[in-house]
Copies of this chain bind each other. A is one copy, B any other.
């Protein structure tokens, strides 16, 4: 559940910014294919990875999490 929602949020934020998975991966210092896995909900990030991604997207980590919360059943 959380994993899928996180992936969806990530994809939205990335495409909004008009950057490719590969570029994002480069900014985060993560693997290209791993970003793909995340977006498809096949992997979940650790908190460190979450911070890396948020920084690369120029968003506060807590706001990234807030986006996930928002789409979850109470």
Contacts and interface: CB of A to CB of B under 8 A. Distances in A.
Contacts of A51: 2
A63 interface: yes
Interface string A50-74: 1100000000111101101100000
Contacts of A45: 46-47
Total copies of this chain within the assembly = 2
A2 B50 CA distance: 11
**Chain A binding surface, main DSSP class:** helix
A36 interface: no
B69 A61 contact: yes
A15 interface: no
Contact of A65 (B2, B3, B46, B65): B65
